[in-house]
Structure 1
Amino acid sequence: MPITCFIRYEIDPYQKDAFEEYARNWNEAIPRCGADLIGYYAPHEGSATLAYAAYNVENLAAYEAYRAKLMADPIGQANYAFAKEKRLIRREDRTFLRLVTGTNGGLIR
């Protein structure tokens, strides 16, 4: 059973377009480095500063290996530099959760 990493971002509200570019840049690198990307979510209504991302990894050991690959990946390095240069992310928090029920309402075992 995989675990899901949820990332909660606090972004600069004037950098929403840059955040969307940052998010799209991960489409190739994240899967190549070993995680199953669910998606990135940018502000639409309500808060202009909250954004989210989610991806699955097999376990925490796989997460550590994935992060090391992502840090060494050319697209990953460029995207981290892009975010730093633009100063678009004010804060990010990660939490790891496991799926308990599915969309069919059944219990996941």
Structure 2
Amino acid sequence: MITVHLRYEIDPDKLDDFTAYGRTWIRLVEKHGGTHHGYFLPSEGDSDEAFALFTFPSLAEYEVYRTASKTDPECVEAFDFARSTGCIRRYERRFLSPVFDGA
């Protein structure tokens, strides 16, 4: 299992656009076989930082999703939305291995 952690630097004046972007990707990740754990938006503290977490059963299945997202019309539309609104300034991606309670 692999969990992808995304850290976004967002435009705080375009939080509504980023929220719409996030809601779209939750569904799209799940459409392509992943489990989305949500987007986490600024509340207090830094107003230009947001996070997202989603999991795929393996790194190989994540790579299938990444390849498919480049041509899936809904994914392309979501990428274009972020570019056209400028709601995302930049992002970082990390790959994590989750640990769960063994009970």
Whether these two folds match at TM > 0.5 is yes
Structure 2: gaps (5+ residues): none
Q: CA RMSD in A?
A: 1.4
Instruction: State the AA in 2 paired with 1:93.
Output: E
What is the Cα deviation at residue 69 of structure 1? 1.5
Write the deviation string for residues 70-92 of structure 1: whole angstroms up to 9, x where unpaired: 22222111110000001111111
Q: Could you say which residue in structure 1 is the equivalent of 2:2?
A: 3
Task: Flag the structure with larger Rg.
Answer: 1
Structure 1: gaps (5+ residues): none
What is the Cα deviation at residue 107 of structure 1? 4.8
Q: Which runs of 4+ in 1 moved over 2 A?
A: none
* Percentage identity across paired residues of the two chains: 37
Instruction: State the AA in 2 paired with 1:4.
Output: T
Instruction: State the AA in 2 paired with 1:55.
Output: F
TM-score norm. by structure 1 comes to: 0.86
Partner SS state of residue 95, structure 1: strand
Structure having greater relative contact order (Cα 8 Å, sep ≥ 6): 2
Partner SS state of residue 70, structure 2: helix
8 Å CA contact 1:35–1:56 kept in 2: the answer is: yes
- Residues matched between the structures, number: 103
